[in-house]
Amino acid sequence: MFASFILSFREGLEATLIIGILLGALKKLGQEKQQKVIWLGAGVAGIFSILIAVILSYLGATFEGRSEEIFEGIAMLLAAGILTSMITWMQNQSHSIKNNLEASVNTALLNSNGVALFSLVFLSVFREGVELAIFLTATAISSDNSRVIAGAILGLSAVIILAFLLFKSLFKLNIAKFFQATRIILIFFAAGLVAHGVHELNEAGLIPSIIDHVWDINHILDERSTIGEFLKTLVGYNGNPSLSEVGSYLLYFLGIWISRK
Protein backbone atom coordinates (compact mmCIF):
# COMPACT_ATOMS: atom_id res chain seq x y z
CA MET A 1 0.00 0.00 0.00
CA PHE A 2 2.88 2.34 0.79
CA ALA A 3 4.34 1.94 -2.71
CA SER A 4 1.03 2.71 -4.43
CA PHE A 5 0.51 5.66 -2.07
CA ILE A 6 3.91 7.17 -2.94
CA LEU A 7 3.45 6.54 -6.66
CA SER A 8 -0.06 8.01 -6.70
CA PHE A 9 0.93 10.97 -4.58
CA ARG A 10 3.95 11.82 -6.71
CA GLU A 11 2.23 11.36 -10.07
CA GLY A 12 -0.83 13.24 -8.82
CA LEU A 13 1.36 16.06 -7.51
CA GLU A 14 3.17 16.34 -10.83
CA ALA A 15 -0.16 16.61 -12.65
CA THR A 16 -1.34 19.19 -10.12
CA LEU A 17 1.80 21.27 -10.57
CA ILE A 18 1.35 21.19 -14.35
CA ILE A 19 -2.25 22.39 -14.00
CA GLY A 20 -1.12 25.07 -11.54
CA ILE A 21 1.57 26.33 -13.93
CA LEU A 22 -0.92 26.49 -16.80
CA LEU A 23 -3.51 28.32 -14.72
CA GLY A 24 -0.82 30.73 -13.57
CA ALA A 25 0.24 31.37 -17.16
CA LEU A 26 -3.36 32.21 -18.11
CA LYS A 27 -3.60 34.62 -15.20
CA LYS A 28 -0.39 36.38 -16.24
CA LEU A 29 -1.78 36.82 -19.75
CA GLY A 30 -5.17 38.00 -18.49
CA GLN A 31 -6.91 35.01 -20.07
CA GLU A 32 -8.67 33.57 -17.02
CA LYS A 33 -11.70 32.81 -19.22
CA GLN A 34 -9.67 29.99 -20.77
CA GLN A 35 -9.42 28.18 -17.43
CA LYS A 36 -12.37 25.99 -18.38
CA VAL A 37 -10.26 24.55 -21.23
CA ILE A 38 -7.56 23.61 -18.71
CA TRP A 39 -10.03 21.83 -16.43
CA LEU A 40 -11.76 20.13 -19.37
CA GLY A 41 -8.47 18.80 -20.71
CA ALA A 42 -7.42 17.59 -17.25
CA GLY A 43 -10.80 15.94 -16.66
CA VAL A 44 -10.82 14.09 -19.99
CA ALA A 45 -7.22 12.97 -19.40
CA GLY A 46 -8.24 11.63 -15.98
CA ILE A 47 -11.11 9.62 -17.49
CA PHE A 48 -8.91 8.13 -20.20
CA SER A 49 -6.24 7.28 -17.61
CA ILE A 50 -8.80 5.34 -15.57
CA LEU A 51 -9.85 3.46 -18.73
CA ILE A 52 -6.22 2.51 -19.38
CA ALA A 53 -5.90 1.24 -15.80
CA VAL A 54 -9.07 -0.87 -16.18
CA ILE A 55 -7.86 -2.32 -19.51
CA LEU A 56 -4.45 -3.24 -18.08
CA SER A 57 -6.09 -4.84 -15.05
CA TYR A 58 -8.44 -6.82 -17.33
CA LEU A 59 -5.58 -7.99 -19.53
CA GLY A 60 -3.64 -9.19 -16.51
CA ALA A 61 -6.63 -11.17 -15.29
CA THR A 62 -7.13 -12.95 -18.64
CA PHE A 63 -3.70 -14.62 -18.70
CA GLU A 64 -2.91 -17.88 -16.95
CA GLY A 65 0.13 -20.07 -16.43
CA ARG A 66 3.17 -19.24 -18.56
CA SER A 67 1.35 -16.45 -20.41
CA GLU A 68 0.59 -14.79 -17.08
CA GLU A 69 4.25 -15.02 -16.04
CA ILE A 70 5.35 -13.47 -19.34
CA PHE A 71 2.76 -10.67 -19.07
CA GLU A 72 3.74 -9.91 -15.48
CA GLY A 73 7.45 -9.96 -16.30
CA ILE A 74 7.05 -7.62 -19.27
CA ALA A 75 4.69 -5.33 -17.31
CA MET A 76 7.22 -4.98 -14.50
CA LEU A 77 10.16 -4.33 -16.80
CA LEU A 78 8.09 -1.80 -18.77
CA ALA A 79 7.05 -0.04 -15.58
CA ALA A 80 10.67 0.03 -14.40
CA GLY A 81 11.78 1.53 -17.71
CA ILE A 82 9.12 4.24 -17.66
CA LEU A 83 9.76 5.00 -14.01
CA THR A 84 13.50 5.31 -14.65
CA SER A 85 13.00 7.62 -17.62
CA MET A 86 10.63 9.74 -15.51
CA ILE A 87 13.16 10.01 -12.69
CA THR A 88 15.95 10.94 -15.12
CA TRP A 89 13.78 13.41 -17.03
CA MET A 90 12.65 15.17 -13.88
CA GLN A 91 16.23 15.35 -12.67
CA ASN A 92 17.46 16.94 -15.90
CA GLN A 93 14.48 19.01 -17.02
CA SER A 94 12.67 20.09 -13.84
CA HIS A 95 14.19 23.58 -13.96
CA SER A 96 12.77 24.28 -17.43
CA ILE A 97 9.32 22.67 -17.17
CA LYS A 98 7.60 25.87 -16.07
CA ASN A 99 9.13 28.01 -18.82
CA ASN A 100 8.32 25.44 -21.51
CA LEU A 101 4.68 25.10 -20.42
CA GLU A 102 4.21 28.87 -20.20
CA ALA A 103 5.70 29.29 -23.68
CA SER A 104 3.31 26.64 -25.05
CA VAL A 105 0.31 28.37 -23.46
CA ASN A 106 1.43 31.71 -24.87
CA THR A 107 1.75 30.23 -28.36
CA ALA A 108 -1.69 28.60 -28.19
CA LEU A 109 -3.35 31.84 -27.05
CA LEU A 110 -1.56 33.99 -29.64
CA ASN A 111 -2.92 31.69 -32.34
CA SER A 112 -6.37 31.70 -30.69
CA ASN A 113 -6.18 27.94 -30.73
CA GLY A 114 -8.32 26.40 -28.01
CA VAL A 115 -7.65 22.93 -29.40
CA ALA A 116 -3.89 23.41 -28.93
CA LEU A 117 -4.41 24.51 -25.33
CA PHE A 118 -6.72 21.56 -24.67
CA SER A 119 -4.21 19.16 -26.27
CA LEU A 120 -1.37 20.58 -24.17
CA VAL A 121 -3.27 19.97 -20.94
CA PHE A 122 -4.65 16.62 -22.03
CA LEU A 123 -1.30 15.18 -23.11
CA SER A 124 0.54 16.52 -20.04
CA VAL A 125 -1.94 15.08 -17.56
CA PHE A 126 -2.66 11.93 -19.57
CA ARG A 127 1.05 11.07 -19.55
CA GLU A 128 1.06 11.16 -15.76
CA GLY A 129 -2.14 9.10 -15.65
CA VAL A 130 -0.85 6.39 -17.99
CA GLU A 131 2.40 6.17 -16.06
CA LEU A 132 0.46 5.73 -12.83
CA ALA A 133 -1.80 3.08 -14.41
CA ILE A 134 1.25 1.05 -15.50
CA PHE A 135 2.95 1.47 -12.12
CA LEU A 136 -0.13 0.35 -10.21
CA THR A 137 -0.59 -2.63 -12.53
CA ALA A 138 2.99 -3.70 -11.84
CA THR A 139 2.57 -3.08 -8.11
CA ALA A 140 -0.64 -5.15 -7.98
CA ILE A 141 1.26 -8.15 -9.35
CA SER A 142 3.37 -8.42 -6.19
CA SER A 143 0.75 -7.18 -3.73
CA ASP A 144 -2.91 -7.47 -2.82
CA ASN A 145 -5.17 -5.58 -5.22
CA SER A 146 -7.25 -4.07 -2.43
CA ARG A 147 -4.14 -2.66 -0.75
CA VAL A 148 -2.88 -1.20 -4.01
CA ILE A 149 -6.24 0.46 -4.68
CA ALA A 150 -6.46 1.74 -1.10
CA GLY A 151 -2.94 3.21 -1.36
CA ALA A 152 -3.77 4.87 -4.67
CA ILE A 153 -6.98 6.39 -3.31
CA LEU A 154 -5.18 7.70 -0.23
CA GLY A 155 -2.35 9.11 -2.36
CA LEU A 156 -4.68 10.92 -4.77
CA SER A 157 -6.84 12.15 -1.88
CA ALA A 158 -3.74 13.59 -0.22
CA VAL A 159 -2.87 15.34 -3.48
CA ILE A 160 -6.33 16.92 -3.68
CA ILE A 161 -6.03 18.24 -0.13
CA LEU A 162 -2.48 19.50 -0.73
CA ALA A 163 -3.49 21.10 -4.04
CA PHE A 164 -6.30 23.00 -2.30
CA LEU A 165 -3.89 24.27 0.35
CA LEU A 166 -1.26 25.22 -2.23
CA PHE A 167 -3.70 27.03 -4.51
CA LYS A 168 -5.12 28.89 -1.52
CA SER A 169 -1.55 29.73 -0.40
CA LEU A 170 -2.24 28.17 2.99
CA PHE A 171 0.70 25.80 2.73
CA LYS A 172 4.12 25.89 1.08
CA LEU A 173 5.92 22.78 -0.12
CA ASN A 174 9.57 22.58 -1.06
CA ILE A 175 8.96 20.76 -4.34
CA ALA A 176 12.65 20.24 -5.09
CA LYS A 177 13.33 18.50 -1.75
CA PHE A 178 10.13 16.46 -2.03
CA PHE A 179 11.05 15.13 -5.47
CA GLN A 180 14.61 14.44 -4.34
CA ALA A 181 13.38 12.38 -1.39
CA THR A 182 10.83 10.43 -3.43
CA ARG A 183 13.40 9.95 -6.20
CA ILE A 184 15.49 7.78 -3.87
CA ILE A 185 12.44 5.70 -2.92
CA LEU A 186 11.42 5.29 -6.55
CA ILE A 187 14.92 4.17 -7.60
CA PHE A 188 14.71 1.29 -5.11
CA PHE A 189 11.15 0.57 -6.25
CA ALA A 190 12.24 0.48 -9.92
CA ALA A 191 15.15 -1.84 -9.07
CA GLY A 192 12.67 -4.13 -7.35
CA LEU A 193 10.46 -4.10 -10.44
CA VAL A 194 13.41 -5.10 -12.61
CA ALA A 195 14.35 -7.96 -10.29
CA HIS A 196 10.77 -9.16 -9.96
CA GLY A 197 10.27 -8.90 -13.73
CA VAL A 198 13.35 -11.07 -14.28
CA HIS A 199 12.01 -13.51 -11.67
CA GLU A 200 8.74 -13.87 -13.59
CA LEU A 201 10.63 -14.41 -16.85
CA ASN A 202 12.79 -16.99 -15.02
CA GLU A 203 9.57 -18.81 -14.16
CA ALA A 204 8.42 -18.56 -17.80
CA GLY A 205 11.76 -19.93 -19.03
CA LEU A 206 12.62 -16.84 -21.11
CA ILE A 207 15.58 -15.77 -18.95
CA PRO A 208 17.84 -18.43 -17.42
CA SER A 209 18.13 -18.44 -13.64
CA ILE A 210 21.81 -19.52 -13.88
CA ILE A 211 21.56 -20.48 -10.20
CA ASP A 212 18.01 -21.08 -8.97
CA HIS A 213 18.59 -19.88 -5.41
CA VAL A 214 21.70 -17.89 -4.56
CA TRP A 215 20.56 -17.94 -0.95
CA ASP A 216 17.42 -18.76 1.01
CA ILE A 217 16.61 -16.64 4.06
CA ASN A 218 12.86 -17.16 4.07
CA HIS A 219 13.24 -18.90 7.42
CA ILE A 220 14.55 -15.58 8.77
CA LEU A 221 12.27 -13.21 6.87
CA ASP A 222 9.56 -14.94 4.88
CA GLU A 223 8.66 -13.03 1.72
CA ARG A 224 5.04 -14.05 2.34
CA SER A 225 4.96 -12.45 5.80
CA THR A 226 3.53 -8.97 6.33
CA ILE A 227 6.99 -7.37 6.47
CA GLY A 228 8.21 -9.57 3.62
CA GLU A 229 5.32 -8.57 1.37
CA PHE A 230 5.86 -4.90 2.23
CA LEU A 231 9.55 -5.13 1.30
CA LYS A 232 8.73 -7.19 -1.78
CA THR A 233 6.38 -4.51 -3.06
CA LEU A 234 8.61 -1.59 -2.14
CA VAL A 235 12.14 -2.80 -2.98
CA GLY A 236 11.63 -6.19 -4.67
CA TYR A 237 12.63 -8.36 -1.71
CA ASN A 238 12.89 -12.07 -2.44
CA GLY A 239 14.01 -14.51 0.23
CA ASN A 240 15.43 -16.98 -2.31
CA PRO A 241 16.38 -15.11 -5.51
CA SER A 242 18.04 -16.53 -8.60
CA LEU A 243 21.46 -15.35 -9.72
CA SER A 244 20.03 -13.52 -12.75
CA GLU A 245 17.52 -11.82 -10.45
CA VAL A 246 20.25 -10.61 -8.09
CA GLY A 247 22.42 -9.60 -11.05
CA SER A 248 19.65 -7.54 -12.65
CA TYR A 249 19.00 -5.79 -9.33
CA LEU A 250 22.64 -4.80 -8.92
CA LEU A 251 23.05 -3.88 -12.60
CA TYR A 252 20.12 -1.50 -12.32
CA PHE A 253 21.83 0.46 -9.54
CA LEU A 254 25.07 0.42 -11.53
CA GLY A 255 23.20 1.86 -14.52
CA ILE A 256 21.66 4.62 -12.39
CA TRP A 257 25.10 5.46 -10.96
CA ILE A 258 26.71 5.58 -14.42
CA SER A 259 23.89 7.76 -15.80
CA ARG A 260 24.65 10.41 -13.17
CA LYS A 261 28.23 10.75 -14.38
DSSP letters for 38-80 = HHHHHHHHHHHHHHHHHHHHHHHHH--HHHHHHHHHHHHHHHH
Mean pLDDT of all residues in the chain? Answer: 85
What does the pLDDT average to over 136-153? 83
Tell me which of 4-18, 134-148, 200-214, 247-261 is least confident.
134-148
205: amino acid identity, one letter = G
State residue 51's pLDDT score. 93
Question: What's the rounded Cα separation, in Å, for the pair 42 and 206?
Answer: 40
Question: What's the rounded Cα separation, in Å, for the pair 66 and 48?
Answer: 30
Q: Write out pLDDT tens, residues 37-54.
A: 889 999 999 999 999 988
Q: Residue 76 above 60 pLDDT?
A: yes
Percentage of residues in the chain with pLDDT exceeding 70? 92
Question: What's the rounded Cα separation, in Å, for the pair 49 and 67?
Answer: 25
Q: Residue 113 above 70 pLDDT?
A: no
Q: What pTM value is reported for the model?
A: 0.82
Helix then strand count (H, E) for the chain reads: 9, 0
Element (H, E) at 148: helix 145-167
Other CB atoms within a 10 A radius of the CB of residue 177 amount to 9
State residue 157's pLDDT score. 92
pLDDT confidence band for 261 (50 / 70 / 90) = low
State residue 112's pLDDT score. 62
233 conformational bin, left if phi > 0, alpha if psi -120 to 50, beta if neither: alpha
Q: Nearest CA to 193 among 120, 140, 114, 126? A: 140
State residue 120's pLDDT score. 86
Question: Chain-centre distance of CA 149, in angstroms?
Answer: 14
Q: Write out pLDDT tens, residues 88-106.
A: 877 666 666 667 777 777 7
Is 236 in contact with 196 (CB distance < 8 Å)?
A: yes
Q: Residue 56 above 60 pLDDT?
A: yes
